Structures are given as C-alpha cells and as structure tokens.
C-alpha cells in the first residue's frame, strides 16, 4: 500500500508534489470533460464521471505512473453518430465492449508493438495532437452561440449544430480574455524560476479566479456559465433534430433546407424544451456519486448491434493508440519505462467499469499528462488524487470550480501545446531523409484535418513501411561468381521480399545462361510468399528452356520456408552445400 502512495526521489519522499500536481490536473480536467461530453452529444456529467472512473482506475492499475487518463476528444468524435442514432444506452454498451477488447489486447501482449512505431510517426502524432489541442482553445473566443442548420456536404453529415461569432476586436471582453491568457502563461513560465513549492498552473488558475471574482469590471466567461449555456444549446439541438426527423420524410427535396432553417430560427425557452423533452435541464456542476447501471439495449436490433460492435472496435483502437503513444512520450520525458501490456489491461478495466456506471469511456490524455509531469507529478498518487479531487469538486465544492474563468484554463492549455509540440522536428529539414519529413507532416496533417488520431498513426505507419520497402528494394544486386560453358554461379545480395521481386526478375536472362545455373543465397534472405513466387516464376522460365536453376547456401529459416512451400518452387532445390560451382 505504501509503495502505491509514496515514491522515493533520491533521499526524500515527494508525495506532496503528486498531490499538488493532481489538484492542478483536476482543475483542467473539468472543462475538458465537459467539452468532450458535448462533442459526443451526452450530458456533461457523463463526461465527468468518465474522467473520474477512468482516471482513478488507470492511475492505480495501469502501466504508466504519472500518466493522466479521462474522457478524450479523439474518442468523443467517434461516439457522436451512435449517440444521435441510438442514444446513450448503446454508447455505454459500446464502451463496455471496447474495454473487453482492450483487456484482451493486454492479455495477448499486443501492446508491446507500440514500441516498434517509427520515430517520424511519433513526432507527427505529438505535433498533430498539439495543434489539435491548440486549435480547440480558440472556440473560447466566440460569443453569441446559436443552433444552425447545415445540409450534408462532403464529409459533413449536416444537421443542426452550434455556431458562434468571433468576439469583436474592439470589445473589452476579448482583451480581458487575452490578458488572462497572457498572465496565466507568464506565471507558468516564470514562477518555477522563483519557487517550485506549488505548481505554477495551480497558482495561475487561483489568481485568475480571484481577479475575476473581486476586481470591478473585470468579468469574463466562467466554467459554470459555459456549462449551463452548453446544456441549453445541447437540449435545443436535440429537440430541433427530433422535430426535423419527424417532418423530413414528408418534405420535397427543395423544401428541406427551408424547413431546417425555419426550425433553427425558433426561439425556445428552457421550460418549453424541458416539457417537450420530458426531463429537467440540469444546472451547475453538482451531482451525486455514479451508480451501477446495466445498459438497456434491444438485442433483436441487428443494425444497432453492428453499430455497437463497430464503435467498440473503433474506441478500443483509438484509446490504445493514444494511450500507448502517450506512454512512450512520458517514458522519454521521464527516462523511465512503463508497461504497455499492463496499460492495455488497466485501460480496458477502466472502460468496462465506466460503461456500467454511466461514463462515456476514455483513455490517456496527453495534455493533462503533460500538465502533471511539468507540475512535478511522477507517481500513481498524482493520477489517483486528480481523479479524487475531481469527484470532490463535483460532490462538495462545485461552486468553486464554476467560478474559474475559462481564459485561465485556455492559458494553461496553450502552455501544454508549447510543451507538447516537438520544436526540434522543425530543425530536421535537410538533416534527415526527406521521406521522414513527409511522414511527420502527413501524420500531423491527417490528425489535424481528419480529427482522427488512429487514422493519422495508421497512415504514418503505412507510409513508413512503403518507404522502407522502396529503399530496401533498391539494394538487391546480382553478382556473377563463376561461369563455364555448362554451368554458371550467381550470388544475390539484398533481401528478397514483395518490394524487390520485380528487381529480382529483371536481374536474370535465362535465354543467355547455360544449362545449369546455381544461385547462392548466402548474402540474402527469402522473406515472404512473394519471394517464393518470384523464385517459382524464375524456375519455370529456366525449365521451359530445358535448363535447371539450383538454389543453395540458404539460411536455415529460408530453407524451412522453401520446404513448406513444397511444389510451389519449380526446378531443383538444394540445401546449403559446401564448395562453389
């Protein structure tokens, strides 16, 4: 138990750093969880419960001390369609199944494969995620939020969505926000040079809250105001979407847009929305403990079950990729090593539990993890305390959290962006192969523009693999070692695999070779089925001319591969022989 709570740094015990950094992280978790819940189309408490449950379980049992987990934007984006089409219960079922998949991944020890990711993919992932986090903060510079209708176009599914207007450049509200952001960033940058007794982000958040609460005419949007506004906008979007779905089947194509805009322009009071939706629209942050709830789904609806399965696989993949890459990043920053397989199982268990307790699921959060590391948090206590502080705020002091100005949290996140982005990657141009630079940009671009971390990493891995195959395919060479009127010996250099088989075929001219051709594999390796097929094809050409192709000097594993191929390989096959030909 004491090993779980306390950690030793040199000669002293610094548990206080974990507690203070956990407190700082918990303050940043609140608006993030609320924002991601709205992205997914669920109530903010669904996101806050996920942040608590996923955070505490992964911190206690996951594979990376010091890493923070909770509700994330990458997973929230993938949830939206199922929530809109089938509702919250089906989302919860998908989260549980995603957790089961993640546990299975850990038990099968597949998490270790994250270690083989190419470094350019890692750089692209980090840079892309930093840009996404940064861009998301600019939404706080908008005002006058309203529900708008948009027809489907391209990748946009259309429907009702919340939009806002940029704050006027001359407005005092804009400059108060900017001032708070700059002040927050300055405190975080310079306070550690004076003292590290308390985390600088925590000091910045507290001072910003005090300024907004007590300085006359120094007012700006707070967490509580954003929470209430977003709940009303979410209810309005849900209600108008429901009305539109009821009327759309009876509309002519030319009337669809007009009807959508008509509904979007309706002004609805809170009482009207509560009456039509059949529920109260909550206010503030206060709530009780999460309770056990078995997701209620229709097991006879095959379309819904397929949607749950697809979403579960998607969530499991996104969660594991983001978590394991964040784990690798923190390993590098702290010069320690976490357990990827244990992290898979810990995260899976957290998602199973959160699905049964009304949470939207989650994974590692690179932004909050960076806040924790930069604030001095290194042990499991930092993540556990962050989750417990978050729960405490919800249960006992929601009013204090509601007072925090959003601008202060934006300033904290901007510093996270600066710390997360790999600025050294900008100096790599001209110093590393151009293909690596392209992979970095490609992964970052896909992550930013497609809002899909898993897709960005997948594209980066595929691009790196193609570059590797292309470069190694050019290494294949054929050397003539001995030649007489009746026989000729060749030696092949370089790997023989799918990328080099075309080059392999072009190296031979069966019509000009004598009756017996000996091919030495002493300096090469037969890697895959494509290589076997290439050898087979070449043997057929020699046999058609009444000639024989002899294979020798094969490594044991290559010999075994060809033996398994059996009659797929034409001509005479000799194992490793002594002497030359």
Give the CATH number for residue 557.
Answer: 3.30.750.24
Please give the Cα distance from 113 to 467 (Å, whole number). 19
Residues 6+ apart with CB under 8 A from 262: none
- What's the rounded mean pLDDT across residues 55-63? 93
Q: Which of 420, 435, 457 is the last residue of a domain?
A: 420
Q: Please tell me whether residues 218 and 319 are part of one structural domain.
A: yes
Judged by average pLDDT, the poorest of 154-158, 231-235, 286-290 is 154-158
Q: Please tell me whether residues 525 and 383 are part of one structural domain.
A: no
pLDDT value for 1: 39
CA-CA-CA-CA torsion sign (304, 309, 314, 320): positive
Q: How confident is residue 50, by pLDDT bands cut at 50, 70 and 90?
A: very high
- What's the rounded mean pLDDT across residues 409-433? 83
In a domain, 432, yes or no: no
pLDDT value for 566: 54
In a domain, 354, yes or no: yes
In a domain, 453, yes or no: no
Percent of the chain at pLDDT > 70 equals 91
Q: How confident is residue 324, by pLDDT bands cut at 50, 70 and 90?
A: confident
Residue 452 has pLDDT above 80, yes or no: no
pLDDT value for 208: 92
Residues 6+ apart with CB under 8 A from 551: 519, 521, 535, 562, 569, 571, 572, 573, 574
Q: Please tell me whether residues 31 and 157 are part of one structural domain.
A: yes
Expressed as residue numbers, the domain containing 487 is 474-573
Q: Please tell me whether residues 44 and 135 are part of one structural domain.
A: yes
pLDDT value for 570: 47
Please give the Cα distance from 349 to 369 (Å, whole number). 20
In a domain, 390, yes or no: yes
- Give the chain's domain count: 2
Q: Please tell me whether residues 186 and 291 are part of one structural domain.
A: yes
The edge-to-edge listing of strands for the beta sheet with 487-493 is 477-483, 487-493, 516-523, 548-552, 572-573
pLDDT value for 507: 86
> Is residue 485 exposed (0-12), middle (13-18) or buried (19+ Cβ within 10 Å)?
exposed
- What's the rounded mean pLDDT across residues 226-241? 86
Residue 132 has pLDDT above 50, yes or no: yes
Give the residue carrying structure tokens 């001390």.
Answer: 65
Q: Mean pLDDT over all residues of the chain?
A: 83
In a domain, 118, yes or no: yes
Map residue 142 onto helix, strand or coil.
strand
- What's the rounded mean pLDDT across residues 143-148? 87
pLDDT value for 574: 40
In a domain, 498, yes or no: yes
> Is residue 322 exposed (0-12), middle (13-18) or buried (19+ Cβ within 10 Å)?
buried
Q: How confident is residue 32, by pLDDT bands cut at 50, 70 and 90?
A: confident
Q: Please tell me whether residues 231 and 152 are part of one structural domain.
A: yes
Q: Please tell me whether residues 379 and 509 are part of one structural domain.
A: no
In a domain, 442, yes or no: no
More reliable by pLDDT, 209 or 374? 209
In a domain, 480, yes or no: yes
Judged by average pLDDT, the poorest of 6-15, 66-75, 239-248, 388-397 is 6-15
Q: Please tell me whether residues 393 and 536 are part of one structural domain.
A: no
Q: Please tell me whether residues 488 and 343 are part of one structural domain.
A: no
Q: Please tell me whether residues 500 and 413 are part of one structural domain.
A: no
> Is residue 342 exposed (0-12), middle (13-18) or buried (19+ Cβ within 10 Å)?
middle
Helices (H), 375-433: 380-395, 398-402, 406-420
Percent of the chain at pLDDT > 90 equals 20
Q: Please tell me whether residues 182 and 326 are part of one structural domain.
A: yes
Q: Which of 420, 446, 461 is the last residue of a domain?
A: 420
Provide the β-strand partners of residue 483. 488
pLDDT value for 114: 66
**Tens of pLDDT, residues 252-272:** 888 888 888 888 898 889 999
Give the residue carrying structure tokens 């911190």.
Answer: 59
Structure letter (DSSP) for residue 296: -
Q: Please tell me whether residues 409 and 494 are part of one structural domain.
A: no
pLDDT value for 292: 93
pLDDT value for 515: 87
Q: How confident is residue 571, by pLDDT bands cut at 50, 70 and 90?
A: very low
């Amino acid at each position: 138990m004491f090993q779980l709570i306390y950690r030793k740094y040199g000669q002293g015990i610094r548990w206080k750093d974990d507690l203070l950094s956990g407190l700082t992280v918990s303050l940043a978790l609140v608006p993030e969880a609320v924002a991601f819940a709205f992205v997914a189309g669920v109530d903010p408490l669904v996101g806050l419960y996920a942040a608590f449950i996923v955070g505490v379980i992964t911190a206690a049992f996951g594979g990376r001390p010091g890493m923070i987990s909770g509700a994330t934007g990458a997973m929230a984006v993938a949830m939206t369609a199922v929530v809109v089409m089938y509702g919250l219960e089906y989302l919860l079922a998908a989260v549980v199944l995603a957790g089961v998949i993640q546990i299975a991944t850990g038990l099968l020890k597949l998490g270790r494969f994250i270690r083989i990711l190419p470094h350019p993919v890692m750089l692209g992932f980090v840079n892309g995620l930093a840009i996404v986090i940064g861009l998301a903060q600019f939404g706080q510079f908008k005002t006058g939020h309203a529900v708008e209708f948009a027809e489907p176009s391209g990748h946009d599914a259309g429907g009702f969505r919340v939009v806002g207007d940029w704050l006027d450049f001359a407005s005092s509200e804009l400059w108060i926000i900017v001032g708070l952001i700059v002040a927050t960033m300055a405190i975080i940058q310079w306070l550690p040079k004076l003292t590290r007794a308390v985390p600088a982000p925590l000091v910045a958040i507290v001072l910003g809250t005090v300024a907004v609460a007590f300085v006359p005419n120094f007012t700006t949007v707070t967490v509580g105001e954003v929470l209430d506004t977003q709940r009303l906008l979410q209810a309005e979007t849900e209600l108008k979407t429901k009305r539109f779905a009821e009327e759309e089947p009876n509309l002519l194509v030319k009337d669809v847009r007009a009807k959508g805009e008509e509904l979007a322009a309706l002004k609805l009071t809170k009482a009207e929305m509560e009456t039509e939706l059949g529920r109260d629209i909550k206010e503030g942050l206060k709530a009780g403990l999460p309770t056990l709830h078995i997701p209620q789904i229709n097991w006879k609806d095959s379309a819904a079950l397929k949607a749950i399965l697809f979403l579960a696989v998607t969530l499991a993949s996104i969660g594991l990729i983001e978590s394991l890459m964040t784990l690798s990043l923190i390993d590098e920053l702290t010069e320690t090593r976490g357990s990827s397989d244990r992290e898979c199982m810990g995260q899976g268990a957290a998602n199973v539990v959160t699905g049964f307790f009304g949470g939207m699921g989650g994974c590692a959060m690179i932004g909050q993890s960076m806040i924790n590391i930069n604030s001095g948090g290194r042990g499991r206590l930092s993540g556990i305390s962050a989750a417990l502080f978050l729960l405490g705020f919800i249960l006992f002091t929601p009013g204090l959290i509601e007072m925090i100005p959003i601008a202060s949290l934006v300033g904290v996140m901007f510093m996270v962006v600066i710390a997360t982005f790999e600025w050294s990657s900008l100096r790599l141009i001209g110093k590393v192969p151009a293909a690596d630079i392209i992979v970095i940009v490609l992964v970052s671009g896909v992550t930013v523009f497609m809002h899909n971390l898993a897709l960005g990493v997948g594209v980066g891995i595929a691009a790196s693999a193609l570059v590797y195959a292309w470069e190694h395919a050019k290494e294949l060479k054929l050397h003539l070692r001995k030649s007489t009127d009746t026989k000729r010996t060749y030696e092949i250099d370089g790997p023989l695999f799918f990328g080099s088989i075309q080059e392999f075929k072009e190296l031979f001219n069966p019509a000009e070779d004598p009756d017996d051709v000996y091919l030495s594999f002493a300096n090469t390796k037969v890697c895959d089925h494509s290589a076997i097929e290439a050898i087979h094809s070449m043997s057929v050409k020699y046999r058609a001319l009444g000639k024989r192709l002899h294979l020798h000097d094969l490594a044991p594993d290559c010999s075994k591969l060809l033996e398994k191929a059996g009659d797929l390989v034409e001509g005479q096959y000799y194992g490793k022989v002594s002497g030359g030909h």
